[in-house]
A and B are shown apart, each in its own frame.
Chain A
Amino acid sequence: MQVKYIQPFINATIKVFKEFLGVEIKPGQPFLFNHNENKYSYDISGIIGIGGHTLGIVVVSFPKLVALDLASRITGQTIKIFDDTVIDLVGEIVNIIAGNAKQGLEQYPLVISLPSIVKGVNHQITGVSGVPMIGIPFSSKKGDIYLFVSLKDLITA
Chain B
Amino acid sequence: MKALIVDDSRIMRNILINILKETKVDSGDIFDAPEGKAALEILNLEKIDLLLVDWNMPELNGLDLVKIVRKMDKYQNLPIIMVTSEAARYNVVEAIKAGVTDYVTKPINARIIMAKIKDYL
A binding-site residues for B, Cβ under 8 Å: 15-16, 19-20, 74-75, 84-85, 88-89, 91-92, 95-100, 102-103, 105-106, 109-110, 112-114
Contacts and interface: CB of A to CB of B under 8 A. Distances in A.
Given A88-B10, A114-B56, A106 B84 contact: no
A99 B106 contact: yes
Given A99-B85, A105-B88, 10 more contacts: A20-B106, A74-B11, A92-B9, A92-B12, A95-B9, A99-B106, A102-B87, A102-B91, A103-B87, A103-B89
Interface centre among A20, A84, A105, A113 (most CB of B within 10 A): A20
Given A75-B11, A89-B11, A91-B9, A20 B88 contact: no
Given A96-B85, A114-B56, A88 B9 contact: yes
Contact of A100 (B8, B56, B85): B85
Residue with the greatest number of chain B CB neighbours at <10 A, chosen from A19, A96, A109, A112: A96
B107 interface: yes
B107 A99 contact: no
Contacts of A114: 8, 56-58
A106 B87 CA distance: 9
B77 to A, nearest CB: 28
Assign chain B's interface to a size class. 20 to 34
B12 A102 contact: no
A91 B10 CA distance: 11
A95 B54 CA distance: 11
Contact of A106 (B8, B85, B89): B89
B85 A19 contact: no
Nearest to A71: B11
28 contacts: A15-B107, A20-B107, A74-B11, A75-B11, A75-B14, A84-B10, A85-B10, A85-B11, A88-B10, A92-B9, A95-B9, A96-B106, A98-B85, A99-B85, A99-B87, A99-B106, A100-B85, A100-B87, A100-B105, A100-B106, A102-B88, A102-B91, A103-B88, A105-B88, A110-B88, A114-B56, A114-B57, A114-B58
A85 B9 CA distance: 9
A85 B10 CA distance: 8
B57 to A, nearest CB: 8
B86 interface: yes
B11 A106 contact: no
Nearest to B54: A95
B39 to A, nearest CB: 16
B102 to A, nearest CB: 17
Interface string B8-51: 11111010000000000000000000000000000000000000
